[in-house]
Amino acid sequence: ISSLKMMNRSVLFSLVLYLSVAPGCKRIGKFDVPGWFKQGDIVIGGIFPVYNREVVSIFNYEKKPTSVNCDRFDLRAFRWTQMMIFAIEEINKDPTILLNVTLGYRILDSCSSPTNTLRAALTLVGGQEENNSTCFPAVSAIVAEAESSQSIAVASTVGPFQVPIVSYFSTCACLSDRTKYPTFFRTVPSDYYQAKALAALVKRFGWKWIGALQADNDYGRNGIQAFTYSVDKTLRVLEMIKKSTVKVILAFTAEGDFYPLMKEVVKQNITGIQWIASEAWITSSRLSTPEMFQAFGGALGFVMPKMAVPNLKPFLTSISPHADSGAVFVRTFWEIIMGCTPHLSGENSTSSLDGMCTGDETLSDSQDPFFDVTELRVSYNVYNAIYAIAHALHRVVFCKSRHKWPNPHNQPCLQRVHFVNTFGDSIFFDENGDPPASYEVINWQLRDGEVHHVSLGHFASAVNVLAPMSPQIPTSVCSEVCPVGTRKAQIKGKPICCFECIPCAEGSIANMTGAVDCVPCPVKFWSSDKKDECIPKTVEYLTYNEPMGIVITVLSLLGASLCLITMVIFIKNNQTPVIKASNAQLSCFLLLSLVLCFLSPLTFIVTPTVWTCMLRHTAFGLTFAVCISCVLGKTIVVVLAFKATTPGSKVARQFGPKQQRIIVCACTFIQVVIIILWLTLNPPYPDMVFQHSTKKILLECNTGSEAAFYAVLSYIGFLAVICLVLAFIARKLPDNFNEAKFITFSLLIFCAVWISFIPAYVSSPGKFTTAVETFAILSSAFGLFICIFAPKCYIILIKPERNTKRLVAKH
């Protein structure tokens, strides 16, 4: 009792039923299951969906199907039954296997229904009597079934009784569970491998956004789960297909379940979809029609490898209702193939056909595809299933024990079967009862008005497509592959294959399509406009061959030349009153310093190096310190000259040329000390600046110590302010030629230039900083030269008549 409580209800029901009918071959109710029987020493059962159900109102989403009719004869399934009979008869004639032991068979119809399949399985296992007269023997093994749901019903029901079940077309991966189905075997690969093959096919063609259509049964659910994530059940399949953006749909469904949907797809003219098929429907003759091709043309799928069985054709063409009038399937088959109703003695015809057969009809010359035995797939699986059972029986009968099957101790015999069939294929089962996996890639192509199943390649561990399926492989992605220069950005709430393409930020690139992230360019590179490559940045600095450099060079040389010319004029006219009144010695020294001031900008327009950077700032600071010191000396001379006119003053006599040189040297020495400290502690150096431009590297001289740089400028400004104050005091002094007012103008210009220089210098980027500094040097130098020396040159060269002592003193 405790053991029975642990059984599930279906197994408990099966056990009760089995115990009820098996011992005395007594039935507990009438099982109306059409079948085909032949006596033998050992009987093998077979369950096939010879008659298929037609589901009515499948597209009425408001209510369940109203009726199920089991009246459509399936020629494909009928050929499976004939292959079983053919294999059994072939084994009975083979002297190497089951010698003196004949195999019989009992074949029943399942109507492609789990309920009918379960009824047929219990009929076979229990030896159910039929017509109240014949008691059929219980079968030793069952070949069943085509659909996975039916095989699950059989395996879970008869499995506890150790009755082996060998399926020829049930591929659900769930059936590999040995804890649930310990006696289940199959000669068709599991959907686990088909799902891997389908996934490899999808990857092979780059499809990343596909639809998944499953049958609402064990086959469909387990097949899709093995392929990808579970999909929610939906009743509005067509609406979803039409609304979806997918261009590839995987249909994991049986032929009978998919057929109504296919008809509706064709009816609503839904095209432009690449269909991927499971092996259950890709080679179905009922589905492979020109009518279906308009919507399903180019369908791809995996099927078992095909095999030609030449000896089968004579067997098929020998089928006749007159030879076996008890086979209920043959009569319907004959009516379909021959188009007439066979007249059998003692029976009233119930056929809807008007014509009666004459009895002379033959199948020998029939061209019906039913007799084409060159590309058998499922039929070949049936063939291998029968031979596998026969080899296992051979081990039981002759090698292991005398017990009849089923016997728990003999169950492993089928598990250990391993043989090579007459076609050279190795037949065996793994620990889960599955055969080795091998598939062909099949493509629907229309030729001469008929749909052909064209083999494109094969699958073992990877898809190997031998031929293209169409001139152009269709694409199916939720989002197109991001082009170069962009990266993928996930869209919230959508699958991972749905994304937006975001352009790479400045300074980063994506040089391949479908990039997840943009890669930053090295610091000396910039990203192209398309953000697909890193381009070396242009090194930029002020040069002689650009307009700005040319202007600076011309102005520098012009200013230096004018100073040298003026110096020559002063030396040649040093005895004239104008030269004597302006202190010729200091004037020449000032002109020499101005020459150096004009030449110092040339150090700013060469390639920045350690030496040129130190030279440009120190030369500028030192030459202007000398220049302003000279101006300071001249201003002091003017002031002292005025003091000399005061009675009793001896100051002018004490401030001679020697004292003037001391003032110039002393003022310059302080600047020299500042520069030495600058170069010693933190000198200027060449520097690469990246922040001013994304496409250029600005090569400039970094001042090093900004405090020292501004100290140099401040000292020059301090000297200039002292000169300006003294010159302003002495601007209206009488007597000798008074140049104080000219010095005042020059220093006003000098101060204005350098005051405006500071903000311009700070705000100018890159080489413009250098240009601003050079123009400040040139402007201040020209201001000093023009204001101090231009009036004197004018008198000497243009107005020599005014170069007299009287006029100089007057002015």
Name 185's bridge partners.
Answer: 166
Place of tokens 């029609």: 289
- pLDDT at position 229, please? 37
Helix (H, G, I), strand (E, B) or coil at 688: strand
Which residues, in sequence order, are CB contacts of 763 under 8 Å at separation 6+?
A: none
The 10 Å CB-count burial string (b at 16+, else e) for 209-239 is bbbbbbbebbbbbbbbbbbeeebeeeeebee
User: What's at 742, amino acid-wise?
Assistant: F
Domain definitions of the chain by residue range? 2-60+73-189+309-318+363-428, 192-303+439-465, 486-536, 547-810
Name 344's bridge partners.
Answer: none
Give the strand pairing for 68-73 and 141-143. Answer: unpaired
Sorting pLDDT into bands at 50, 70 and 90, what band is 151?
very high
Give the strand pairing for 165-167 and 184-186. Answer: parallel
List, for residues 328-380, the tens digit of each pLDDT value: 788 889 989 988 888 766 555 555 555 788 888 888 888 898 999 998 999 99
Q: What's the rounded Cα separation, in Å, for the pair 231 and 234? A: 9
Helix (H, G, I), strand (E, B) or coil at 500: strand
- pLDDT at position 502, please? 92
Helix (H, G, I), strand (E, B) or coil at 740: helix
Q: What's the rounded Cα separation, in Å, for the pair 248 and 240? A: 13
Going along 642-744, which residue ranges are E strands? 685-689, 696-702
- Burial (CB count <10 Å: 0-12, 13-18, 19+), residue 413: buried
What's the token pair of residue 331?
């009569």
Asked if 200 contacts 51 with a C-beta cutoff of 8 angstroms, the reply is no
State yes or no: pLDDT of 749 exceeds 60. Answer: yes
Sorting pLDDT into bands at 50, 70 and 90, what band is 384?
very high
Which residues, in sequence order, are CB contacts of 409 under 8 Å at separation 6+?
A: 401, 403
Mean pLDDT across 428-456: 90
Which CA distances in Å does 448 have to 286, 288, 297, 367, 375?
Answer: 18, 14, 14, 16, 19
User: What's at 10, amino acid-wise?
Assistant: S
Angle at 418 between CA 415 and CA 420, to 5 degrees: 150
Percent of the chain with pLDDT over 70: 80
Nearest to 134 by CA among 162, 106, 168: 106
Which CA distances in Å does 718 have to 59, 641, 766?
Answer: 99, 24, 29
What's the token pair of residue 640?
């002292």
Asked if 107 contacts 35 with a C-beta cutoff of 8 angstroms, the reply is yes
State yes or no: pLDDT of 678 exceeds 50. Answer: yes
Name 134's bridge partners.
Answer: 130
Q: Could you report how far apart the first and last alpha carbons of the chain are, in Å?
A: 143
Sorting pLDDT into bands at 50, 70 and 90, what band is 54?
low
State the DSSP code for 356: B
Main-chain phi, psi angles of 328, to 5 degrees? -65, -25
User: What's at 544, amino acid-wise?
Assistant: Y
pTM above 0.85, yes or no: no
Most confident of the ranges 56-70, 261-275, 693-707, 763-777: 261-275
Q: Which long-range contacts (CB under 8 A, 24 or more apart) does 415-421 make?
A: 415/185, 417/388, 417/391, 417/392, 419/387, 419/391, 421/383, 421/384, 421/387
What's the token pair of residue 89?
């008869």
Sorting pLDDT into bands at 50, 70 and 90, what band is 772?
confident
Sorting pLDDT into bands at 50, 70 and 90, what band is 4?
very low
In order, the DSSP letters of 380-435 are HHHHHHHHHHHHHHHHIIIII-SPPSP-TTTTHHHHT-EEE-TTS-EEE--TTSPP
> Does CATH place domain 547-810 in 2.60.40.1840?
no
Nearest to 8 by CA among 158, 164, 177, 156: 156
List, for residues 679-709, the tens digit of each pLDDT value: 999 999 988 877 767 778 888 888 888 899 8
Percent of the chain with pLDDT over 90: 23
- pLDDT at position 232, please? 40
- pLDDT at position 741, please? 77
Q: What's the rounded Cα separation, in Å, for the pair 231 and 402? A: 51
State yes or no: pLDDT of 129 exceeds 80. Answer: no
- pLDDT at position 308, please? 93
Sorting pLDDT into bands at 50, 70 and 90, what band is 726?
confident
Sorting pLDDT into bands at 50, 70 and 90, what band is 68?
low
Give the H/E segment covering residue 300: strand 300-303
Place of tokens 């998944």: 212
Domains 2-60+73-189+309-318+363-428 and 547-810 share a fold: no
| Averaged pLDDT score across all residues of the chain | 80
- Using CA atoms of 304, 305, 306, 310 in order, give the dihedral in degrees to the nearest 10: -120
Main-chain phi, psi angles of 306, to 5 degrees? -85, 160
The 10 Å CB-count burial string (b at 16+, else e) for 771-784 is bbbbbbbbbbbbbb
Nearest to 502 by CA among 519, 483, 520: 483
State yes or no: pLDDT of 788 exceeds 80. Answer: yes
Q: Output the 3-class SS for 171-183.
A: CCHHHHCCCCCCC
Q: Which fold has domain 192-303+439-465?
A: Rossmann fold (3.40.50)
Alpha carbon 631 to its chain's center: 75
Q: What's the rounded Cα separation, in Å, for the pair 612 and 604? A: 8
Tell me which of 256-265, 555-564, 576-585, 779-788 is least confident: 576-585
State yes or no: pLDDT of 643 exceeds 70. Answer: no
Asked if 185 contacts 141 with a C-beta cutoff of 8 angstroms, the reply is no
Angle at 302 between CA 298 and CA 305, to 5 degrees: 120
Q: At what angle do helices 610-644 and 740-763 cross, to 10 degrees?
A: 150
Q: Output the 3-class SS for 699-760.
A: EEEECCCHHHHHHHHHHHHHHHHHHHHHHHHCCCCCCCCCCHHHHHHHHHHHHHHHHHHHHH
Sorting pLDDT into bands at 50, 70 and 90, what band is 231?
very low
Asked if 314 contacts 366 with a C-beta cutoff of 8 angstroms, the reply is no
> Does CATH place domain 2-60+73-189+309-318+363-428 in 3.40.50.2300?
yes
Helix (H, G, I), strand (E, B) or coil at 642: helix
